[in-house]
A and B are shown apart, each in its own frame.
Chain A
Amino acid sequence: MTELKLPSIDYAALAPTLIMLGAALLGVLVEAFVTRRHRHLTQLTLALLAVLAALTMVVLNADDRLITIGGAIAVDGPALFLQGAILVLAAIALLLIGERTVERGGAFVAQAAVTAESDDDRRQAEGSNGATEVYPLTTFAIGGMLIFVAANDLLTMFIALEVFSLPLYLLCALARRRRLLSQEAALKYFMLGAYASAFFLFGVALVYGFTAGMPGRPAGVDFATVNAAVTESPASPVLLFAGMAMLSIGLLFKAAAAPFHVWTPDVYQGAPTPVTGFMAACTKVAAFGALLRVFHVGFEGARWDFTPVLGVVAVLTMLVGAVLAVTQTDIKRLLAYSSIANAGYLLVGVLAPSAEGISGTMFYLVAYGFSVLAAFAVVTLVRDADGEATHLSRWAGLGRHSPFYAAVFTLILLAFAGIPLTSGFTSKFAVFGPALDGGQAWLVIAGVLTSMVLAFPYLRVVVMMWLSEPGDSTPTVTVPGGLTSAALMIGVAATLVLGVAPAPLLNLAAGAAEFVR
């Protein structure tokens, strides 16, 4: 019997992930052992401290470029940058999740199992404190995302995908109000997510089959083997291409690219708004981090084969997002379609065949994450007696009632529209520039054209807020508690700073744009 040899494990390099998962487990214990009164504070503190500690470890590891734990995890520039991004954005999302003054008891349901629309449901909606299970769920999701962007083989990537997806399905179901909508969203997200995961897994199997039979190399699904197989494998390329297609379907689903975007509007609308913000910011980072790694490391050699197909997907995504945003009447759905269109712009960056493309995409993810979190923070504030007033007609004349928040939201919308001196402009520049250099002018043209279409729904909201007379049904803006204010201010400040002085972050991204194999 051969002796079982443990692979060497670099615990320091894995620390961010370990901290998050450890904190999640601890959070479960907190649920069991801490009295109900203290749970919220304990959980929120624990989660924020864990994010902070993990972020510290990411910063300390900033110079690591290594593959550890038996080739399962790659700690390299993009992994560290994206982990840092996920942690920073997750911290802001946690602030939104932890808010309990805007709505009494927080945005989450007290008992998810109560029948929706029943008397019990109405009673809990009136003011009992929300479930604190959201914190361990969120920390599990963050942990999964950290693995997802650092996974060095397709199986680890799949497991990470499930680790962060399952908590998200649950979180979507936990809205305090409009329970039916929330549960429906969660169920749809779960079913379609499982569907997409199956594609991903099937793709992994096909790629594994493709890597078999190379001289002097065992079959495997780690990216180094896949990369070598693209040029050396004697197996039929049908396996490779079918596998690549299936893998990209799984990832594009998470990234909300057309035609795999169908879940996005429903889920964004139904999920509790802080969770929507978390998904829009962090899930995007994770999904595009994985796309970058799969296509820049694993299938590098097949670049000329996948670029046209994914390019068409990118154009379609931009088109669908921009065109459908035009007729939306609900602010959360509008932001969902905007998020779809942004996935298209991000794909342009992924397809740019250079390190600048990678760094541009990473910059875009961070900039977009900050803005979208701030946007959803404002959405949580505009409310009436029945909770958030998300129908656009209700936002008419908001500028008269609450000029400050209307101004903040205007700024964010202008950033989404890509107006100069906001982060939206610099980030579009950061992905379109490399694409143009890489000879993909058609993607850039589509991007600019759809940006113009997309500016219309944004400006419509701006015009509505400022130029319409406030009606009787115009809701007031709730004065936010400290946590939401902090999240909102960080998001807005980042949107401005990244527009005016983007150089430090661009340099950081450029310095981190090298994958290890």
Chain B
Amino acid sequence: MVEILANAPAEPAGTVTYAAAAGLLGSVWLLVAIPLVSAAVLLLLGRRADRWGHWLGVGAVGAAFVLGLTYFFQLRDLENKSVELSLWDFIAVGDLRVDFGLLFDPLAAVFVLLITGVGFLIHLYAVEYMAHDAGRRRFFGYFNLFVAAMLLLVLGNNYVMLYFGWEGVGLASYLLISFWYERPSAATAGKKAFLMNRVGDAGLAIGIFIMFATLGTTQYDEVFTGVGSLTASTVLVLGLLLLLGATGKSGQFPLQAWLPDAMEGPTPVSALIHAATMVTAGVYLIARSNPIFSANSTLQLVVVSVGALTLLIGCVIGAAKDDIKRVLAWSTVSQIGYMFLGVGLGGGAYALAIIHLLAHGFFKANMFLGAGSVMHGMNDQVDIRRFGGLSKHMKITWLTFATGWLAIIGIPPLSGYFSKEPIIAAAFEREDWTAWLFGGAALLGAGLTAFYMTRLFVLTFHGPARWTEDIAHPHESPKLMTIPLILLAAGSVLAGGLMAWNDGVASWLTPVLGEQSGEAHGVLSHSMITVLSILVTVVGAGLAWFLFRAGTATAPQPAGVLVTAARRNLYTDAFNEAVFEKPGIFLTRALVYLDNRGVDGLVNGLAAGVGGGSGRLRRLQTGFVRSYATSILTGALLVVAAFLAVEAGWLA
């Protein structure tokens, strides 16, 4: 423990330099501009755009995807793969210099492809999903706004730009969670997301202030180059604040409670924002700031702990939930826990976390859209106890969902196997007893994931039908919804293997995330871990299959301590209420009392004083020229007298 807290710099940070954007890459700002303009058109034109607005929204994201792909190929041929484009000096006062600039590098490039690629498919799906909603145009306006903000977040070349995108996606997320604002639960969920994100955002903002105060800049290259000159404790505080921001946005412990509630939004929103992209912004932040996090091993330990703890919390709660979208939401929390574990391990695991993030983007979006398709066919039912036997009625949804399920639990050769198993292995490669702790947690998580995802899958698609009376024949969704499903299913099957092929993505990301640190030796051999992880997966899945193959009761059953606790989100909500809400309310009341009696008295007195003074002074404004002239003359005499007094040296 002592050596862990010794703040030993893990790796010295080198100098970071970015090339200037030239040629086609000079137009990289279009990526942000296109969806932004589309959002503005959709929101400003109002009802006039109702007929064609959704296609504009889809087209804008499609165009951004094509552009992103072009830029991606441009980048491949470059020597220095980090291309910077400075648009204008955003803030330039005194020493504070903030560039309104973009950075297109391998890390940003893969995020751009994920956001616009998966985003495009989900937009397409939403055209049909939202077809009967009167607010479809508004929905697409917000959706485009989200894409623009998310692209700004990953493309900015300094922390202030990142913060802009960060707040932008927060805004879009808030608007979309409470999209059906007539529903009280949706409005409340929106507020909850807003408040919890505020806590994280405050951390991020203070982190940026510290950066400016200690390094005098917020540009990525200058911060990363200068981080070596900071004291260990500054780096620790800075990193913890950034981490607080990351946990808020990514639904990690201790700020995880908002994410499952965010499922009140329309399903495409859950798929795009609360599964595939926005919630991974925290992982992006840490991966982007890797020189800061790598500079302090205590910091890395905290990140790893947050990741490990959250992944277990997510699994345990996910296993006890009955709402299809909430199970998926807790699974998102848990999978992002894996990613945090990865970025916390540092070194080569940064790239592993990003690969898992990309793979997760595919299979989680796939499953969310699949859940949407199920709800579409089942009168918006979300309770998995009231599904069952749907495999016969929704063939495409069933098959595509199955690929997502197999991918997330990590069955080879689907995508999750290639992305999750290396993280588990990396967790076992730590050098002390913590290898057992974190490796064990990751391994246990894999088993639990297999259990609750299999439970979800079996209860939904297999076993006896337990539908509510109003449903006679569940129907498959229309083509516009199934085609994105099929494409995402293909991604769920192939993406992991393709990305792991020949270390393709890992070496692509090397310029940003640093060299991989050779062959490490874990406490267990790699093949042993592979076998173990497949084993726990099969055991978890098999157990779930055995328990739920014949369906389940449609009402909650009495359960033991653990299950009850899991059903209540492991009492985290109760904890929040007891520790933050109650004292908060008490404090507010106390402050209101103080405010009414003390501060208001003072302020009102002051205001009355100013007002009274103002009233008295106003009487000088009589309207008579003679009194004005007298006033001017008096002033003139005073000014002349003052000047003469200065001359005579009386005021010196």
Contacts and interface: CB of A to CB of B under 8 A. Distances in A.
A188 B618 CA distance: 18
A262 B620 CA distance: 9
B643 A429 contact: no
A195 B635 CA distance: 13
Contact of A244 (B621, B632, B643): B643
Contacts of A258: 635
Contact of B625 (A188, A265, A324, A433): A188
Nearest to A506: B92
A248 B621 CA distance: 23
Given A262-B631, A326-B611, A305 B643 contact: yes
B646 A195 contact: no
A263 interface: yes
Contact of A433 (B93, B615, B617): B93
A187 B624 CA distance: 11
A313 B615 contact: no
A253 interface: yes
Interface string B605-624: 00100110111011011010
Interface stretch (A20-28, A63-71, A234-242): A234-242
A240 B646 CA distance: 12
Nearest to A305: B646
A308 interface: yes
Contact of B646 (A192, A253, A309, A325): A309
Contact of B642 (A312, A323, A500): A312
A237 B647 contact: yes
A192 B635 contact: no
B632 A309 contact: no
A260 B635 contact: yes
Interface residues of B, number: 35
Nearest to B100: A501
A323 B610 contact: yes
Nearest to B88: A501
B639 A192 contact: no
A446 B476 CA distance: 71
A291 B302 CA distance: 61
Binding site of B, secondary structure by majority: helix, strand, loop or mixed? helix
A448 interface: no
A324 B614 contact: yes
A238 B328 CA distance: 86
Interface residues of A, number: 45
A309 B643 contact: yes
A210 B95 CA distance: 44
B613 A308 contact: no
B614 A326 contact: yes
Nearest to B93: A429
B90 interface: yes
Contacts of B221: none
B651 interface: yes
B614 A323 contact: yes
A501 B122 CA distance: 35
A453 B632 contact: no
A188 B628 contact: yes
A320 interface: yes
Contact of B639 (A249, A265, A456): A249
Interface string B629-652: 101101110111011101100010
B644 A249 contact: no
A501 B639 contact: no
Interface string A481-517: 0000000000000000000110100100000000000
Contacts of B635: 249, 258-260
Contacts of A187: 625
A503 B92 contact: yes
A242 B631 contact: no
B422 to A, nearest CB: 45
A191 B625 contact: yes
Interface string A194-208: 011001000000000
17 contacts: A188-B628, A192-B632, A195-B629, A245-B636, A246-B636, A262-B621, A262-B628, A266-B621, A305-B643, A308-B642, A323-B614, A324-B617, A327-B618, A500-B90, A501-B100, A503-B89, A506-B92
Interface of A: 187-188, 191-192, 195-196, 199, 237-238, 240-242, 244-246, 248-249, 253, 258-260, 262-263, 265-266, 305-306, 308-309, 312-313, 320, 323-327, 429, 433, 453, 456, 500-501, 503, 506
Interface of B: 88-90, 92-94, 100, 607, 610-611, 613-615, 617-618, 620-621, 623, 625, 628-629, 631-632, 634-636, 638-640, 642-644, 646-647, 651
Given A188-B628, A191-B625, A308-B651, 20 more contacts: A238-B644, A240-B647, A241-B647, A246-B640, A249-B640, A259-B632, A260-B632, A260-B635, A262-B631, A266-B621, A266-B623, A305-B646, A306-B643, A309-B642, A309-B643, A323-B610, A324-B617, A324-B621, A326-B614, A327-B618
